[in-house]
Amino acid sequence: MKIEIKKSFILFGVLTLLLAAIFFLFPINLFDGEIVYQNGLQELTVERPLSLSYFIGIGFDEEDMIGVLDYYLTYKGVMMAFIFIIGFPALFAYRMYLRATKNQDK
């Protein structure tokens, strides 16, 4: 039974790292966010999907950042990122653990 738990944790870790690498290294605009533009004295906040790669400096040009004061994920975007990176691998690993223990009981 300890082997199934260990395999489930390894599967969870590998899937989490894989999904985190995909979302942080490729510019996939999937997560809800807001961009704050500044034009003179005026500030404009625009809601649009953002990529997690923007937060580590990958996936955008310097010309795209002209006039951008700040960008961030909304609460919904943070929850989506958490579910995609942590939630799905956890559910998949738990499912594999249940299947292994079910097969072992027979």
Residue range 7-63, pLDDT digits in tens = 899 999 999 999 999 999 999 999 999 999 998 889 999 999 999 998 998 877 778
DSSP-derived secondary structure letter, 62:
T
Q: Which domain holds residue 55?
A: 2-105
Report the number of distinct structural domains present in the chain: 1
pLDDT band at 1 (very low <50, low <70, confident <90, very high): low
Other beta carbons within 10 angstroms of residue 90's beta carbon come to 16
